[in-house]
Amino acid sequence: AQSVSQHNHHVILSEAASLELGCNYSYGGTVNLFWYVQYPGQHLQLLLKYFSGDPLVKGIKGFEAEFIKSKFSFNLRKPSVQWSDTAEYFCAVNTGNQFYFGTGTSLTVIP
Amino acid sequence: GAVVSQHPSWVICKSGTSVKIECRSLDFQATTMFWYRQFPKQSLMLMATSNEGSKATYEQGVEKDKFLINHASLTLSTLTVTSAHPEDSSFYICSVPGRQYTEAFFGQGTRLTVV
């Protein structure tokens, strides 16, 4: 069965620090990859997605992610985090008509 | 993108009663909707796929008689938790896939507490 792994369960950073959240998936076929963010008390929102083309994709709010096919990875990055980035981050994989989510990473940014 | 509205946002009910949660796609006709359950600090676990005009498809381990799903129209799916028990307390989220599943749009979730 397909699975999505997020290795960092809880990350605490100071403002202006750089962020990288890991995401690995297990599926040998063609996949679409997503990062969603869930701010406290809000619904999940799309940060960015990758379907094909340039493996480095840029999303909203300064986030980017790099698809490395050989490593089955889609890590999320941001060069300088802000307090407002405090949220839960979910990596997701779409294979055909199903979405599979990682366990999520809770990011806390300290002002 | 699609706007998905879920109602209620939170509900408290007594053990043994039933609770209905609505998921509406406000600007997008959805033949398919997904229902997820999210435990604290855990991922979204797919419970079932709701199909307009036909029976829902349940994931392994999900009791279809306990979690009744009805997808009566292209804009509304309902999840009814029947004979709720405290262990059913959780956060339930519905989702509408975009065209060709290029994205998933989420409702704001329903916090169910069974006392």
| Statement: residue B41 has pLDDT above 90 | no
Q: What angle do CA B100, B22, B66 make, to 5 degrees?
A: 100
CA distance A1 to chain B (A): 12
Nearest one of A24, A19, A20 to A5, comparing CA atoms = A24
For A43, the closest of B32, B43, B106 (CB atoms) is B106
Q: Do B32 and A46 touch (CB under 8 A)?
A: no
Asked whether B94 and B36 are in contact (CB, 8 A), the reply is yes
* A31-44 residue pLDDT tens: 899 999 999 888 88
pLDDT of residue A31: 86
Residue with tokens 């939170």: B10
pLDDT band with cut points at 50, 70 and 90 for residue B23: very high
- What CA–CA distance (Å, rounded) separates B87 from B10? 16
Q: Is A52 on the interface with B (CB under 8 A)?
A: no
Tell me: the pLDDT tens digits for B74-96?
999 999 999 999 999 999 999 99
β-pair partners for B114: B13
Tens digit of each residue's pLDDT (9 = 90 or more) over A19-75: 999 999 998 788 899 999 999 888 889 999 999 999 999 999 999 999 999 999 999
Angle, vertex CA A26, rays to CA A57 and CA A64, nearest 5: 15
**Locus of tokens 């962020």:** A19
Q: Would you call A32 and B104 a contact, using CB atoms and an 8 Å cutoff?
A: no
Nearest CA in chain A to B10: A41
- Tell me which amino acid residue B84 is: A
Contact A37, B94 (CB under 8 A): no
Interface touch B103/A46, C-beta < 8 Å: yes
